[in-house]
Structure 1
């Protein structure tokens, strides 16, 4: 694994201002911000380079990485962060195409090595994480699997695609060098066509469904993790996920 790219540009508008007036990745759980925990886990997993795509209140993120006793990640600012994550991925296109495999990560995920390490060390060039134990609804990004192979990725996946398993995407993707370059191309074309405000998962879906770069599914069902989108996610993270996380970070 050559580098990780952490997407931390968004404002987190679905969280109460009182809960977190700044970037979501600076929410603290157990005395550690989401960003610090991810950076420490990546270091523990042996990932040598980290890029953090920032935007909203990027100065706060800069101060956070400066205070940590860790190798300083490369910070790339999306000045038009309010448009969405597709544009943010486009802004880090040079880092995606700099050579080597890439780990593309959402910054608003609380987890430990039981989620991250299996993806970093997956034998497949391209892989994504799947949790089969999830609450159905419109919000989770679902992964359709057929014989263990991902065939679709979306909040509203194609129900007509043959599949035998449905899981939730954790929001972390392992991309080999060729797939990373292909994703950057898909994202660039989408932005040029007026799709800057689309979620970047749409581009990952296009890459997956094109079939040229095969993906493996890494099952992390039962591992502690949660994505922080709403106030109730913060409550669940502190009450249910944090107590189960490894203390060795």
Structure 2
């Protein structure tokens, strides 16, 4: 067998990264694509490796040399690489294609060894490796019939997103027998070039062959094996996360702070959402209005404040809408003066926006990090405090203060002239659910120093919309925050979501009830893991102490590398200097069961 690598292209979309190098000289985590590929191919029993070169071909040839680990390397030069596409590059190797069985690979690919193992171990001689179509993919897609026969190659013009679930993307790794090249591929390659010229792609030849009664070509779908095609700098960034070394992979994903839809096989137990809302009907209404929402400007702050006020039944002057709660937190913290009381462990977006010397820290003195209002009053009663922050339920501990006791805290802070910030982003997940909210006109008016913050993303399962609310009867504070944020700080999709939410409020309440049942079930399942101590929670996550076998970072890394599960390692959080802790989100029953299975397997 031989390998043919197409490496003549200019890689213009990689801009300055390919200004002085051909595409396969791009480095992913410090290793060039060509070095990685040659190292993988050297493990095979090959007669030779054929490199079709063009742009910066001389430099590539000097870099690679005439052999690699004893395998001879043969070069074919495409002198008109800047005027042709890859069909011409492959046609230059048509003589070589007919001399041996061939593995055909494009040079801008990165893949794990399992990808090669899969195609080489399959006994069928002529194979196009394919993967289920995902949103990040671009290029040739196919549809498959029974026994993985390729029914059709879908052109970009014929691509229909309504049918995307039936599409497979070609991985651009092919296995051709010598006979197939002689009887099928090369004759059709010649005919295609004669008819349509050299500015085409070699997959078009396969498209013609697939129409034959006996094409002798099958597809082989991948089943989770890792690969990526690098066409631009975004692809390179994604590839560096997917193919990071095991000791660096976790950090590579964590620093992205989301955007995990680019990695559809990743199961995200780190970020916190509602698995049971929005309803399918609500999503369909959003989709039905996609065109107009995409092409029209959103309203300004005044109109969106009216919508958010309607959303929660509040007076509009009490409300500020945020591009996620994070935008509102940033603005709020910049307006505060004096000392801030913070209960640790906590959601660190708040204290990170505050000078360290202004933070008055409280650490619960028990293994579950639980605390009561009396604990807080007892600790802070003699402290110089301007503002007290309470996350309820708390993040990451899941500690919950009842509505009655929260009102007791409101009374105490009012008496002490202390501003009280209550972040109730997770309150709808408590056993008393949405009934315990402080987002009531009567409550806000009774306690003018009360500020309530709520993340719509977390409670309502729409993190992609980036919605949050801050409410207070302190009109001056609300006006200052509104002036601080952009007039168009949310987009039309988020605005439309607020417009229609009330029609689906019953669905939301049912979703919260479903969630509470799943949390109870998941708690029992998670508690069966021998090396975890699961701390009871009233939120949509569990804080777990890793009591034996692993450190928190080891367990987090293992879940990512072995099962593509991302959880939160709390080892870096303040208050966890003793013990090892992780936080896991509560997702759907299916996802939760998969996590339990993974933990038991470990």
Normalising by structure 1, we get a TM-score of: 0.86
Distance 1:73 1:67 in 2: 5
Match of 1:81 in 2: 81
Conservation of the 8 A alpha-carbon contact between 1:45 and 1:117: no
Distance 1:19 1:192 in 2: 31
1:24 and 2:23 aligned: yes
Q: Which runs of 5+ in 1 are unaligned?
A: none
- Name the stretch that deviates more: 113-122 or 66-75: 66-75
Give runs of aligned pairs for residues 236-247 of structure 1, distance below 5 A.
Answer: 236-243=238-245
Once the two structures are TM-superposed, the CA of residue 239 in structure 1 deviates from its matched residue by 1.7
Once the two structures are TM-superposed, the CA of residue 243 in structure 1 deviates from its matched residue by 4.0
Q: Which has the higher contact order (CA 8 A, sep 6+)?
A: 1
Once the two structures are TM-superposed, the CA of residue 159 in structure 1 deviates from its matched residue by 7.3
Match of 2:91 in 1: 90
1:190 to 186, 189, 192: 192
Distance 1:101 1:91 in 2: 17
Counterpart of 1:116 in 2: which secondary structure?
helix
Counterpart of 2:35 in 1: which secondary structure?
helix
Conservation of the 8 A alpha-carbon contact between 1:146 and 1:164: no
Conservation of the 8 A alpha-carbon contact between 2:12 and 2:18: no
**Cα deviations by residue, 1:22-55 (Å, 9 ceiling, x for unpaired):** 2101111233211121112112132332101001
Counterpart of 2:39 in 1: which secondary structure?
helix
Give runs of aligned pairs for residues 100-139 of structure 1, distance below 5 A.
Answer: 100-132=100-132, 134-135=134-135, 139=138
Conservation of the 8 A alpha-carbon contact between 1:144 and 1:157: no
Once the two structures are TM-superposed, the CA of residue 242 in structure 1 deviates from its matched residue by 3.6
Give runs of aligned pairs for residues 160-239 of structure 1, distance below 5 A.
Answer: 165-181=166-182, 182-239=184-241
1:58 and 2:60 aligned: no
Conservation of the 8 A alpha-carbon contact between 1:154 and 1:202: no
**Cα deviations by residue, 1:103-129 (Å, 9 ceiling, x for unpaired):** 111111001211112112220011111
Once the two structures are TM-superposed, the CA of residue 194 in structure 1 deviates from its matched residue by 4.0
Distance 1:156 1:188 in 2: 24
Conservation of the 8 A alpha-carbon contact between 2:42 and 2:68: no
- Cα distance change on mapping 1:42 and 1:153 into 2, 3 Å: farther
Distance 1:124 1:67 in 2: 31
Count of residues in correspondence between the two structures: 242
Pick the structure with more helix per residue.
2
Larger Rg: 2
Distance 1:242 1:204 in 2: 34
Distance 1:211 1:43 in 2: 37
Distance 2:117 2:46 in 1: 10
**Cα deviations by residue, 1:151-198 (Å, 9 ceiling, x for unpaired):** 2234438679xx994211100111112221221222222222342000
Distance 1:199 1:220 in 2: 23
Once the two structures are TM-superposed, the CA of residue 227 in structure 1 deviates from its matched residue by 0.5
Conservation of the 8 A alpha-carbon contact between 1:144 and 1:164: no
- Cα distance change on mapping 1:190 and 1:87 into 2, 3 Å: same
